[in-house]
């Protein structure tokens, strides 16, 4: 069986090293929210983009202290709803040490709270008119 873990490790290391992340705001807990501007795509009214959220204070997980979360989010600007397409929590991003990785079979769209990364991302990608 093919494992995505080695590919995720290489992709994470390359992303950190090439400085592709742009700060777009902070969560209510002070964690910066970063976007990969080159990842932003729009299709059928849905904006998809990759995000990185480095934790100011590492979060305890059973596998260790998570320092960074990377996610791919989908945004319906007209409805102001979001769905997480993929999420990876890193204990050590540079080394590629992953605590959790999830890819929902069917991402579900729902409301976003302005204090979370998805709220910051929604406001950035879909400014209110």
Structural domain tally of the chain? 1
Closest CA to 24 of 120, 128, 112: 120
Q: What is the pLDDT of residues 44-87, one digit of tens each?
A: 999 999 999 999 999 999 999 999 999 999 999 999 999 999 99
Radius of gyration of the chain (CA): 14
Q: What are phi and psi of 8, to 5 degrees?
A: -65, -40
Looking at residue 104, what is its pLDDT?
94
Beta bridge partners of 64: 61
DSSP tag of 105: S
Q: What is the pLDDT of residues 7-30, one digit of tens each?
A: 444 444 444 445 789 999 999 999
| 43-111-72-66 Cα dihedral, nearest 10 degrees | 180
Q: What is the pTM of this model?
A: 0.81
Can you tell me the distance from the alpha carbon of 70 to that of 35, in angstroms, rounded to the nearest whole number?
10
Domain extent at residue 119: 5-125
Looking at residue 18, what is its pLDDT?
54
Q: What is the pLDDT of residues 87-106, one digit of tens each?
A: 999 999 999 999 999 999 99
Mean pLDDT of all residues in the chain?
88
% of the chain beyond a pLDDT of 90? 78
CATH number of the structural domain spanning residue 76: 2.40.128
């Amino acid at each position: 069986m093919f494992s995505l873990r080695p590919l995720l490790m290489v992709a994470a290391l390359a992303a950190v090293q090439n400085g592709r992340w742009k700060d777009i705001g902070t969560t209510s807990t002070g964690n910066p929210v970063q976007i990969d501007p080159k990842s932003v795509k729009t299709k059928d009214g849905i904006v998809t983009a990759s995000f990185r959220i480095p934790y100011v204070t590492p979060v305890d997980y059973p596998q260790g202290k998570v320092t960074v979360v990377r996610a791919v989010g989908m945004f319906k600007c007209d409805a102001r709803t979001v769905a997480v397409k993929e999420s990876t929590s890193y204990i050590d991003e540079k080394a590629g040490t992953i605590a959790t990785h999830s890819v929902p079979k069917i991402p579900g769209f729902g409301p976003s709270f302005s204090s979370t990364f998805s709220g910051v991302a929604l406001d950035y990608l879909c400014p209110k008119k």
